[in-house]
Amino acid sequence: MCQLLPLGRMKQQRIWISIGLWAGLYLCWITLFHDHVFTITRTLTVQFCYLLFVAANYYAQIHYAIPKLLHRRKYLLFTLFLPTAILVSALLRTPMAIWLQVHYFRPGSLAPDAGNVFRDSFLNIFIWVIFTVAIHQVIEKIGFRQYVDKMEKERIRHELEFLKAQFNPHFLFNSINSIYGHIDRKNGKARNMLLSFSEMLRYQLYECNVDNIVVEKEIQYIRNYVALQQERKEENLRVVLEIADEVRGFTVAPLLLITFVENAFKYVSSHEDQENQVIISLGKKGGELSFRAYNTTDSGAVMQEIEKGGIGIANARRRLDLQYPGQHDLHIADRGDSYEVLLNLKINADVAKSHYSR
């Protein structure tokens, strides 16, 4: 399943930035540590060998030791990992450096003392690994702080917008009841649509100001939304809503799935000579909720809207990262003539049990 292009571009940018930084560090070493007694070739080779070992230890730290050991409070293992890894690196570099000295740089000369080479290798690799990892951690800390500040500002802004949206809700419901009373009783379709809209509005205003809500209420909201959209769309639109019986008895973040449902109806194709489709399904397997939103679409319509600055999917991704960190799997495919969202969420049984026991 293909990911949205912006994510791939972000990964490519990070790779090129990393390559640029390592290349800059390599050039810095060559400039600072070039000894005029040695040839430039020897300097390039020696520093490149150091670069390989420093980079290997750096990535071992940031991708394994820090997230797998330090963040999981395995402090003894984390403390032992760094010197052990550098010790192995120094042991590997020592025979390599001696071989290059004897067979390449100064053929026929006596081999340098292995102990001195090992000591220099260990100290140099240790110092530069500590330096690069420290710089990385400082940058990560600054970036995380900025991210948290941004999220806090957005939370406050959304809270203010939510409060504005709640302005005199009783007036809204009274108005809806008045309109409902003036609709001819024979026009059951319009009366049912208004009732569905009223339930959706009540759900948004009074029940969604929590972190988690029972999934049955979220499903009812989706049912009401789909029912309204079915009445609005063309006759050649086929809408399928499949909700398995076992999708019950747990909680989910409110109004999370509706973003993908809204997009399915918003971008559904409008072909006159063939059937247009929207398929929404919810299932539960083991400890995971599986969600699928599929719709036929006009060629490139979704990606064009995203490139114009659509924020629905971006906000949904951000909510998933914040509310389900490491507990979700989101795949999005835009095939030109169809658009599909597949989402798996791990169900927190403890949260569900406590919510239902109240």
- Nearest CA among 121, 53, 128 for reference residue 112: 121
Q: Give dist(CA 345, CA 319) in Å, integer.
A: 12
For the sheet with 276-285, list strands across it: 237-243, 276-285, 288-296, 338-346, 328-334
* CB contact at 8 A, 336 and 300: yes
Give how far Cα 144 sits from Cα of 135, 138, 147, Å.
Answer: 14, 10, 5
Domain locations in the chain? 5-161, 168-207, 215-357
- Whole-structure pTM value: 0.51
Tens digit of each residue's pLDDT, the chain (358 residues): 344 444 456 566 666 766 667 666 666 656 665 554 444 455 445 555 677 778 888 888 888 888 888 888 888 998 898 888 888 888 887 877 777 666 666 666 676 777 887 888 888 888 888 888 888 888 888 888 888 888 888 877 777 666 555 555 555 666 666 676 667 777 767 777 777 787 887 787 778 778 889 999 999 989 988 988 887 666 788 999 999 999 999 999 888 899 899 989 888 888 887 888 999 999 998 889 999 999 999 876 555 555 444 457 888 888 888 889 889 999 999 888 899 999 999 986 544 444 554 4
Q: Give dist(CA 210, CA 205) in Å, integer.
A: 11
Count of CA atoms in the C-beta half-sphere (13 A) of 319: 20
Count of CA atoms in the C-beta half-sphere (13 A) of 24: 7
Tokens standing for 352?
């569900």
Give me the CATH topology for the region 215-357: Heat Shock Protein 90 (3.30.565)
